[in-house]
Structure 1
Amino acid sequence: MDPRVHEHAEVLVDWSARIEAGDDVVLSVGPDAHELAVAVAETIGERGANLLTTYGSGEIERAYQRAHDGDFDEPSHELALFEAADVYLRIGGGRNTSATADVPAETRQAYRNARTNLREARYDTRWVSTVHPTRSLAQQANMAYEEYADFVYDAVLRDWESLADEMAKLKDRLDEGSEVRLVGPGTDLTMSIEGRTAVNSAASVAYDSHNLPSGEVFTAPYDTDGQVTFDVPMTLQGQSVRDVTLNFEAGEVIGFDAAEGEDVIEEILETDEGARRLGELGIGMNRGIDRLTDNILFDEKMGDTVHLAVGRAYDACLPDGETGNESAVHVDMITDVSEDSRMEIDGEVVQENGTFVWE
Structure 2
Amino acid sequence: MDQRIAEHAEVLVDWSARVEEGDDVVVRVDEGAHDLAVAVAEKLGERGANYLATYVSDEVESAFVRSHDGDFDPNPDFELSMLENADVVLSLRAKRNTAAKGAVPGENRAAYKKSRTEIKARTMDTDWVSTMHPTRAHAQNAGMGYGEYKDFVYDAILRDWESLADEMANMKDLIDEGSEVRLVKEETDLTMSIEERTAVNSAASVAYDSHNLPSGEVFTAPEATEGEVYFDVPMTHDGARIRDVHLTFEEGEVVDWSAEVGERALEDILTTDEGAKRLGELGIGMNRGIDRFTDSILFDEKMGDTVHLAVGRAYSSCLPEGQQGNQSAVHVDMITDMSEDSRMEIDGEVVQRDGTFRWEEGFEE
TM over 0.5: yes
Q: Structure 2-normalised TM-score?
A: 0.98
Partner SS, residue 284 of structure 2:
strand
Which consecutive residues of structure 1, in runs of 5 or more, have no partner in the other structure?
A: none
1:56 aligned residue: 56
Please identify, of 36-45 and 62-71, the stretch whose mean Cα deviation from structure 2 is larger. Answer: 62-71
Q: Does 1:66 align with 2:57?
A: no
2:7 aligned residue: 7
Q: Does 1:182 align with 2:187?
A: no
2:31 aligned residue: 31
Residue identity matched to 1:285: M
2:295 aligned residue: 294
1:97 aligned residue: 98
1:140 aligned residue: 141
Instruction: Summarize deviations over 1:116-170 as a string: whole Å, max 9, x none.
Output: 0000000000000001010110011011000000000000000000000000000
Query: Any runs of at least 4 consecutive aligned residues in structure 1 with deviations exceeding 2 A, and if so which?
Result: none
Residue identity matched to 2:42: E
Residue identity matched to 1:35: D
Residue identity matched to 2:84: E
Whole-Å Cα distance in 2 between the matches of residues 343 and 93 of structure 1? 34
2:314 aligned residue: 313
| CA RMSD between the two structures | 0.5
- Matching of residues 87-126 of structure 1 within 5 Å: 87-126=88-127
Whole-Å Cα distance in 1 between the matches of residues 175 and 151 of structure 2? 33
Q: Does 1:40 align with 2:40?
A: yes
2:248 aligned residue: 247
Whole-Å Cα distance in 2 between the matches of residues 76 and 307 of structure 1? 35
Paired-residue identity, %: 70
Structure 1 residue 77, shift from structure 2 partner: 0.9
Whole-Å Cα distance in 1 between the matches of residues 102 and 316 of structure 2? 30
Residue identity matched to 1:53: A
Residue identity matched to 1:147: E
Instruction: Summarize deviations over 1:18-71 as a string: whole Å, max 9, x none.
Output: 000010000001111110000000000100000000001000001111121110
Residue identity matched to 1:78: E
Whole-Å Cα distance in 2 between the matches of residues 206 and 300 of structure 1? 21
2:205 aligned residue: 204
Partner SS, residue 189 of structure 1:
strand
Residue identity matched to 1:30: D
Residue identity matched to 1:61: E
Residue identity matched to 2:286: M
1:230 aligned residue: 231
2:216 aligned residue: 215
Structure 1 residue 79, shift from structure 2 partner: 1.1
Structure 1 residue 98, shift from structure 2 partner: 0.7
Whole-Å Cα distance in 2 between the matches of residues 101 and 81 of structure 1? 29
Residue identity matched to 1:290: D
1:193 aligned residue: 194
1:130 aligned residue: 131
Structure 1 residue 268, shift from structure 2 partner: 0.4
Q: Does 1:19 align with 2:40?
A: no
Partner SS, residue 213 of structure 2:
coil
2:333 aligned residue: 332
Count how many residue pairs are aligned between Structure 1 and Structure 2: 359
Q: Does 1:280 align with 2:281?
A: yes
Which consecutive residues of structure 2, in runs of 5 or more, have no partner in the other structure?
A: 361-365
Whole-Å Cα distance in 1 between the matches of residues 242 and 111 of structure 2? 22
Q: Structure 1-normalised TM-score?
A: 1.00
Partner SS, residue 65 of structure 1:
helix
Instruction: Summarize deviations over 1:208-251 as a string: whole Å, max 9, x none.
Output: 10000000000000000000000001111211111000000000
